[in-house]
Amino acid sequence: MASPLSSPRFATLPERALIRVSGAEWRGFLQGLITQDVETLEAGAMRYGALLTPQGRLLYDLFVTAEDGGALLDAPAAGREGLAARLRMYRLRAKVEIELVEGAVVVLFGGSVDPGQGWRADPRLAALGWRGVDLPAPAGCLAASVQDHDLHRLALGVADLTRDALADRVYALEANFDLLNAVDFKKGCFVGQEITSRMKRRSVVKSRMVPLRFQGPAPCPGAEVLNGSLRAGEVWSGAEGIALALLRLDRAVDAELTVEGRRVRLDVPQWLSAAVAEAISAQDVRP
C-alpha cells in the first residue's frame, strides 16, 4: 500500500462553479474577452485564463474546457452570477447562449497518478495536479479537505482570486498570471489587454505575489510586510507557517522582513524565481 506522502489526494471544491457558453460564435465571443486563446483550443482540452477589468485588474479566473459546440467555464462560485451577467452584457448580437450548469469541480493533487478519462492536467503548473467535473476518486487516492488543497496551493505560491480576495484589486501580472499560462500575449485584443501588454513590454511588474514562511499562525489578511520602516507589501491569505503576500520586489528580496513584529522570509518557488530576479535587475535604485 502506498504511503500517505506518496498517495494522491482527492477533494471537491465547492468554491468553484460552472457556466456553459455555447452557440455558433462562442469562440469569437470569448476570444475577444478573456486573456486566453480559445480559437486554437481543441475539443476536450483545458486552458486557464481570466476576465479583467478594462483597467487590467483581475475580475474572474477561468478554466476553459472546449466541448462540441461550446465551452465549459470553471469559475469562482461566489462570482458565478456576476460573471454570467457580465458575459450577457458583452454578448450584444453574438450568437451565443450563456447558462449556469450544475456539477462538482474535483481535484487530484499531491502525488503521482494516472487518473484516466475525464481528468485534465491543471494548465497552470504540473505540481497542482488534475481537475475534473463530477468524477469519482481514482483507486488509491486519499480523501482530502478544501483546506488540504489550499495548503498545497499556498506551498506552491499560487494565488486564488476567491481565497485571496484579489478581484478588482490587483493586476493580472501582479498575481503571476503571465507565468501561470493564463495570458496569451499573441492572441490580440481582450478586455484589459492594453495595460496588461504594456506592463509586460516595459517590464514594470514591480510587485508580485510571493510566498512567505514563518513560525506559527498566519498573519491577518491585510497585515503589512515591513523592511525596517519601509512598507514592502501586504499579506493576502495564509495558513500555519505560510502565507501569500503581494510584495514590492525591490524592497522584499534579500531583506530582513517582518509582519506584525515577527520575522518572515521569502520562499520563492522555482517557477517564479526567474521573474523575481529579472524584476530586481531592472530596478534603478535598491533600498
Per residue in 54-106, pLDDT (tens digit) is 999 999 999 999 999 999 999 999 999 999 999 999 998 889 999 999 999 99
CATH class label, 206-281: mainly beta
- pLDDT band of 1, cuts 50, 70, 90: very low
The strand ranges marked E within 122-274 are: 130-133, 142-143, 207-213, 224-227, 230-239, 242-248, 257-259, 262-266
Residue ranges, comma separated, of all CATH 3.30.1360.120 domains in the chain are: 9-201
Residue ranges, comma separated, of all CATH 2.40.30.110 domains in the chain are: 206-281
Coil, strand or helix at 258: strand
Q: Quick count: other Cβ atoms within 10 Å of Cβ 198? A: 11
Give backbone dihedrals phi and psi of 58, rounded to 5 degrees, phi first: -70, 135
pLDDT digits (tens, 9 = 90+) for 238-277: 999 999 999 999 999 999 999 999 999 999 999 999 888 8
As a whole number, mean pLDDT of residues 170-175 equals 94
**DSSP states of 15-59:** TEEEEEEESTTHHHHHHTTSSS--TTPPTT-EEEEEEE-TTSBEE
Using the predicted structure, report yes or no on whether residue 5 has a pLDDT greater than 80.
no
- pLDDT band of 133, cuts 50, 70, 90: very high
Total-model pTM: 0.91
CA distance to 58, 108, 251, per residue, from 286 (Å): 29, 42, 7
The length of the chain in residues reads: 287
Best CATH choice for the domain 9-201 from the list 3.30.1360.120, 3.30.420.40, 3.30.420.10, 3.30.1600.10 = 3.30.1360.120
Give residue 81's pLDDT.
Answer: 95
